[in-house]
Amino acid sequence: MASEKHVEPVIGVIGGSGLYEIDGLKDKEWRRCETPWGAPSDDLLFGSISGVRCVFLPRHGRGHPIPPSRLNYRANIDALKRAGVTDIISLSAVGSLKEELEPGRFVLVDQFIDLTQGRQRTFFEEGCVAHVSMAEPVSHRLLTTLGDTAEKLHIPVTRGGTYVVIEGPQFSTRAESDLYRSWGCSVIGMTNMPEARLAREAEMNYVTVGMVTDYDCWHEDHDSVTVDTVVTTMKKNATHARELVKDAIASLGHKRELDQAERALDNAIITPPDARDSGLLARLDAVAGRVLFSHQ
Ligand SMILES: CSC[C@H]1O[C@H](OP(=O)(O)O)[C@H](O)[C@@H]1O
Ligand SMILES: Nc1ncnc2[nH]cnc12
């Protein structure tokens, strides 16, 4: 939990396609979590690794019943916040938009281009308006730890890269794929927005491990992407992902000072207290309780 100055980290892991559980959790227990925004994708898996508390959520639910456009991103992030999570590691299957990012490589994403449409992308609706900064959407502290851990484990890793988030569920056309390449994007996926936005609004650190499964459809030497390709490579990536997460969590447990993202709401809420909607404020209890209901 965050106190005035220090944080006892709790690591949240969001498992993407092919990752419906993680390894090495002690005292593990699946627990249902209700939120004011509806139900998260699944129960949360609580436990600890090397004494560090952690919470796992399968993004699409166990069995993968929920498509990217229908995920309740707000409920997922709120549930993790309510569970005490301070730092989120987002594990995601991604397509590669660069020759040198081959399937099997892990890309530690540091920027996003959000092309999603019609998803609920904020907790701060009518009645309490907030504008947080998204200039640096990921935690460089988490990125560095994951990069160092991946190198130690001999997992091919690239630090930094832009993830273009498409609405899906269909994969891209070749013209779209070429366009994203011309923008300099590194990888493509369907889920990390609005997830990263909402994590920022909820004052949680966030980082994405983009696990390359395919070359999308631009690469003339590779067949166009199919679910089969993605799932086959994802299964191979999953072993690496489990090792990475287990070791990274062990390194992330020390008590530390608050990061900038954990103060994202300090100067973000523009609606003055007397104009705020009490119903919305009640729903913001977990996400914005630090600034709305206390003086930390
Ligand atoms: C099964 S391929 C497409 C699917 O995989 C990725 O999901 P996630 O980020 O949860 O691993 C991609 O964004 C699509 O949703
Ligand atoms: N090529 C691709 N496009 C979108 N999402 C993906 N997830 C994995 N590969 C993908």
pLDDT tens, position by position, 64-111:
999 999 999 999 999 999 999 999 999 999 999 999 999 999 999 999
pLDDT tens, position by position, 108-135:
999 999 999 999 999 999 999 999 999 9
What's the pLDDT score for residue 295?
55
Q: Which two tokens stand for residue 174?
A: 């070749």
Residue ranges covered by each domain of the chain: 8-92+103-163+191-214+226-292
Q: Distance, CA 234 to ligand 2 centroid (Å)?
A: 11
Query: CATH classification of 8-92+103-163+191-214+226-292, choosing from 1.20.1740.10, 1.25.40.10, 3.40.50.1580, 3.90.1150.10?
Result: 3.40.50.1580
What's the pLDDT score for residue 91?
98
- Interface predicted TM-score (ipTM) of this complex, two decimals: 0.99
Q: Which two tokens stand for residue 55?
A: 């919470």
pLDDT tens, position by position, 237-279:
999 999 999 999 999 999 999 999 999 999 999 999 999 999 9
For residue 156, give the amino acid letter.
Answer: P
Higher pLDDT, 222 or 162: 162
At residue 294, does pLDDT exceed 80?
no
At residue 169, does pLDDT exceed 60?
yes
At residue 223, does pLDDT exceed 90?
no
Q: How far is CA 215 from the centre of its chain?
A: 22
What is the chain's mean pLDDT, rounded? Answer: 95
| 212 confidence band (pLDDT: 50, 70, 90) | very high
Higher pLDDT, 296 or 22: 22
What's the CA gap between 135 and 128, in Å, rounded?
A: 22
Overall average pLDDT of the 18-34 stretch: 93
What's the pLDDT score for residue 2?
47
Calculate the alpha carbon distances from 170 to 66, 85, 164, 192 in Å: 14, 32, 14, 16
Q: How far is CA 227 from the centre of its chain?
A: 21
User: Is 92 a pocket residue for ligand 1 (Cβ < 6 Å)?
Assistant: yes
For residue 177, give the amino acid letter.
Answer: S
Indicate the annotated binding residues for phosphate.
17, 59-60, 92-93, 191
Taking each helix axis as running N to C, give the angle between helix 140-152 and helix 227-251, from 0 to 180 degrees, rounded to the nearest 10: 100
Coil, strand, or helix at residue 86? coil
Q: Distance, CA 92 to ligand 1 centroid (Å)?
A: 6
N- to C-terminal Cα separation, the chain: 12
What's the pLDDT score for residue 245?
97
Overall average pLDDT of the 6-28 stretch: 93
User: Is 214 a pocket residue for ligand 2 (Cβ < 6 Å)?
Assistant: yes
Q: What percent of the chain has pLDDT over 90?
A: 89
Q: Distance, CA 271 to ligand 1 centroid (Å)?
A: 36
Q: Which two tokens stand for residue 239?
A: 């072993």
pLDDT tens, position by position, 1-15:
445 678 999 999 999
Calculate the alpha carbon distances from 74 to 123, 124, 287 in Å: 7, 11, 10
Active site residue 43: no
Strands, E, within 97-156: which ranges?
Answer: 106-109, 111-114
Residue 227 makes CB contacts below 8 A (sequence gap 6+) with none
E strand or H helix at 290: helix 285-292
What's the CA gap between 140 and 157, in Å, rounded?
A: 15
CB atoms within 10 A of CB 185: 20
pLDDT tens, position by position, 39-70:
999 999 999 999 999 999 999 999 999 999 99
Active site residue 87: no
Q: What pTM did the predictor assign?
A: 0.96
Would the CA dihedral through 93, 99, 103, 108 be positive or negative?
negative
What's the CA gap between 278 and 282, in Å, rounded?
A: 6
Overall average pLDDT of the 280-284 stretch: 98
User: Is 189 a pocket residue for ligand 1 (Cβ < 6 Å)?
Assistant: yes
What's the CA gap between 216 and 283, in Å, rounded?
A: 39
Residue 201 makes CB contacts below 8 A (sequence gap 6+) with 77, 122, 123, 124, 130, 132, 264, 265, 287, 288
Catalytic residue among 214, 221, 228, 266: 214
Catalytic residue among 78, 87, 216, 259: 216
Overall average pLDDT of the 140-146 stretch: 98
